[in-house]
Amino acid sequence: MRICMMAPWPSVHTDFLLKAAIRMGYEVHYLRIGGLQSDAGFPTGVQVHSLEPRRPMGLRYTGQISLGLQTRRLLRRVKPDVLHIHTLFAGRRWRELPWMWPLYSYHPLVITAWGGDLMVSPKVSRSARRLIQFALRSADMVLGNSEALLEVARSMGVPRQRLHEMQFGIDTEVFSPIQATETLRTKLNLGPGPVVYSPRAFTPTYNQLAIAKAIPKVLQVIPECRFLFQRRAEFHMPEYEAEVQESLERQGVDRAVRILPPRQYEDMPTYYALADVLVSVPSHEGMPRSVLEAVACGAFPIVSDLPALREWITDGENGLILSSVEPKQIAEAILYALSHKSMTQKAAQINREIVERRWSYSFWLRRLDELYREAVAGKS
């Protein structure tokens, strides 16, 4: 089967999808937009096609028109069995959708909607909502990683029979509590105390500033506690990280914090297993893969109140759900989790069972193959 994908790069999600498609024996083509994406690190076996916006004499909008024409010619030449678009360029990039119109006339077309695509972009403007509706309604299938996300797509006019749950899936053998963490603990100079980990990208969406402001209250009670923040290669805003760093220094708690450089994906299980508590409090999103990976490794989740997470987290049982993302509430939740060991130990068992049952890597790869074949059969 010949698959053509369009997705953000660099991204651990895109890397996972491309490698999965290669593993399933597909011929994989990738559309790269010049000027928007790096050209380094694509998985072996992926055929990369670069599209460069050209603006003759600097004429306005001609760049988008040239991209549309290049895309149409490429699709006619490659003739993929399935065209799969991952994310509609959430938030700030919705204005790039017009040049993608040639993509929406290709069939079978599968679109994976990410959280920001449906939770944020439609609220930017009426034009953004209309463009996103047009894209979704053009698809033969719309995939989403939570029922809440799929329900938003349905409310925007996508027929229910075209909507399908699709998780990225995690490798439950790799992401497990059985990790040797002592060397990492020593390397990071964490001491013997508990570890709180925030692995999300440095952007305002993920509210690291609120987490930073919660740290003094936690240290007043548990001075040996240490906090990890994770700088990521994708969706990183240096100015926001600098704001978080300044807050930590101003409060005098930076000694208890480690801001980690971007990690190789294969290193993440050790970091997750090192964490006693995982804090992930975005203002919006679908089903966060990093949270699933972390709880598979035994970390106790403290999360914001999002519909996708309420599908499997019961507050006070296998996690804590915050009603608001305020420093005081974050601090109180961290202290509660660290002082209730029996709850967190029981949660680790519950969450491991949930991950193995619902988010197994191998299960969702088989499901993706089924959906592709269903899309091809629907075309013929």
pLDDT tens profile 230-257: 998 777 899 999 999 999 999 999 999 9
pLDDT tens profile 79-91: 999 999 988 763 3
Alpha-helix runs per DSSP H in 252-340: 268-274, 289-296, 307-310, 327-338
Residue with more model confidence, 18 or 214: 214
pLDDT tens profile 5-18: 988 887 777 888 89
Domain with CATH 3.40.50.2000 in the chain: 2-169+360-379, 182-358
How many C-beta atoms surround the C-beta of residue 179 within 10 A? 16
Q: Which of 121, 117, 83 is nearest to 103 (CA)?
A: 83
Q: What is the CATH number of domain 182-358?
A: 3.40.50.2000
Cα gap 321→316, rounded to integer Å: 8
Look up the pTM and report it. Answer: 0.72
Task: State the residue for tokens 């989790």.
Answer: 337
DSSP-assigned letters across all residues of 196-238: EEE-S-SSGGGTHHHHHHHHHHHHHH-TT-EEEEE--SSS--H
Give me the architecture of the 2-169+360-379 domain, per CATH: 3-Layer(aba) Sandwich (3.40)
pLDDT tens profile 33-59: 765 556 567 888 999 998 877 665 555
Beta bridge partners of 143: 112, 164
pLDDT tens profile 88-138: 763 345 455 556 777 888 999 999 988 778 877 777 778 778 888 888 999
